[in-house]
Amino acid sequence: MPRRLVACHHCDYLHTEDDIPAGNVAVCVRCGAPLYQAQNNSIERSLAFAVTALVLFVIANSFPILGFSMEGRSESNTLMSGVVTFWQEGYPFLAFMVGLTSMAAPLLLIGAYLYVLTPLRFGFEWPGVHHVWRVLAIIRPWSMLDVFLIGLLVALTKLSDFADVVAGPAFYAVCLLIPASLLMSTQLDPRVIWRKLAPVGLHHPTIDDLAADSTWVTCHNCAFVVIGNGETEGVSCPRCGSRLHHRKPRSLSRAWALLLAAMVFYIPANVFPIMTVTLLGRAEADTILTGVGSLIAAGEWPIAIVVFVASIVVPVFKIAVLAWVYLATGFGQTRALRDRTTIYRVTELIGRWSMIDVFMVSILAALVKLGNIATVEPGFGAVAFCAVVILTMLSAMAFDPRLIWDRAGMLQQQGTA
């Protein structure tokens, strides 16, 4: 039987699909990006982790996450408290972003997996399953409970300097929820889902189909390879229904616009305080940089290094790398194509970790509300910093890495994985 075609998401190099052992990942021969991962019983496993994750999510949202006491008074907060505090204190953008990344997106992600996998596992039909599966790809990057947990640890470290802190049941639920959600996605082989969701009788292109017409368009959403360039641009993908484009429309100009906006916000993000801490009547404003300084002064080296890397190194590195990738692509540079694709991929993965400081502020502001004894108030720096993280993420998403290869004059190519 002729083998099916798989195009690399990052460089559009065309491969033929191979049977690989379960747990192994096939990578692109040209750029090194992962193509697909094989799993046994992938639907059953992923569904089991999705159910576990849902139970943990409910626990994580029903109990206090942190409690602290100072001068005979005590307070506790839940996952929701940070969102409510930001909203009440006049920071709707931060309330929205923290709500989206620590609650809405993780829940929607779990819900989407359950909605898609349950009917597939038990052999019945639910409406709109392939739309839900399509939306899932959009939600995924915004689910940041793992980053939230680190923000929580930083908040805990800062608090323990002047108060007694205890972790609540929700804290342990979040610690377990992160691996459960991770396994929910990694145990699933998405190829199995698309095969089950494809319209009945849909022909999956093979190497033989390329003999008649050697051009193709890859679906941005489900990675289906549609043979023939001319007639396919702008029509719907026969497998998932998304509109087909040879490349993301106006990719480079959109990516640049978002990156330039991020550069602009980077200045207030570092100049204005991200929070003001009032302790026994004395108020002290913390910027991103002084926040790291105070962790070092308190001797909290490991946490100081984590915050320094996430809040200072990662944003600067990400802005610089994206600018370099966009410039080199715009000028059609032909050197280091593989390195550029890899570094773009890594940058896209690490950018979200900069949200640590935003989460830390949301937790402290919600928890520390003891008037003149101890209060933490968010500052405009946190808004600007959150905007930098979001804008760089959107910029990286707008960029189509396949342009790196196109602009260097590399024509569409094929080979075997």
Residues 6+ apart with CB under 8 A from 23: 37, 38, 39
- Binding of residue 130 to Zn ion (CB under 5 A): no
CB of residue 346 vs Zn ion: minimum separation in angstroms?
14
Size of the site for Zn ion (CB under 5 A): 16
Q: Which of 13, 49, 256, 265 is close enough to bind Zn ion by CB under 5 A?
A: 13
Q: Binding of Zn ion at residue 361 (CB under 5 A)? A: no
Q: Does 224 bind Zn ion (CB under 5 A)?
A: yes
- Stretch binding Zn ion (CB under 5 A), from 19-27, 99-107, 174-182, 216-224: 216-224
Out of 6, 7, 14, 31, which residue is the one contacting Zn ion (CB under 5 A)? 31
Q: Which is nearer to Zn ion, 31 or 255 (CB)?
A: 31
Q: Which stretch binds Zn ion (CB under 5 A): 158-166, 201-209, 221-229, 396-404?
A: 221-229
Task: With contacts defined by CB under 5 A, name the span among 76-84, 85-93, 233-241, 408-416 that binds Zn ion.
Answer: 233-241
5, 7, 8, 325: residue in contact with Zn ion (rule CB under 5 A): 8
Query: Which residues neighbour 308 within 8 Å (Cβ) at sequence distance 6 or greater?
Result: 292
How far is Cα 405 from Cα 153, in angstroms, rounded to an integer? Answer: 41
Task: Give the torsion sign (CA, 33, 136, 153, 370).
Answer: positive
**Could you tell me if 209 and 103 are in contact, meaning their C-beta atoms sit under 8 angstroms apart?**
no
DSSP 342-357: HHHHHHHHHGGGGGHH
Binding of residue 237 to Zn ion (CB under 5 A): yes
- One of 193, 240, 365, 368 touching Zn ion (CB under 5 A): 240
Comparing C-alpha atoms, which of 348, 301, 332, 342 is closest to residue 403?
332
Residues 141, 244: Cα–Cα separation, whole Å: 22
Query: Residues 165, 68: contact at Cβ < 8 Å?
Result: yes
Q: How far apart are CA 412 and CA 7, in angstroms?
A: 10
Least distance (Å) between residue 330 CB and Zn ion = 20
10 or 246: CB nearest Zn ion: 10
- Which residue ranges make up the site for Zn ion (CB under 5 A)? 8, 10-11, 13, 28, 30-31, 33, 219, 221-222, 224, 237, 239-240, 242
